[in-house]
Amino acid sequence: MLAQIKISFARSRHALLSDAAGVAALMVMLVVGLHLPAIS
């Protein structure tokens, strides 16, 4: 099972990295959006 996970990660590394970047961007937008009312 661990070997299958390693193979899957090796095959889809680019997709996983772009998904991780998307999640990070969404989290940044969420934090900024939640703090906007406190700024003004």
Q: Is 11 left (phi over 0), alpha (psi -120 to 50) or beta?
A: alpha
Q: What is the pLDDT of residue 29?
A: 97
CA 5 to chain centre: 19
**Dihedral through CA 28, CA 30, CA 34, CA 37, nearest 10?**
80
The model's pLDDT over 7-36, given as tens digits with 9 standing for 90+, comes to 988 898 899 999 999 999 999 999 999 998
Helix, strand, coil shares of the chain, percent, nearest 5, are: 90, 0, 10
Widest distance between CA atoms in the chain: 52
Q: What is the pLDDT of residue 5?
A: 84
Q: What is the pLDDT of residue 38?
A: 82
Q: What is the pTM of this model?
A: 0.66
Q: What is the pLDDT of residue 9?
A: 83
Confidence band, pLDDT 50/70/90 cuts, at residue 3:
very high
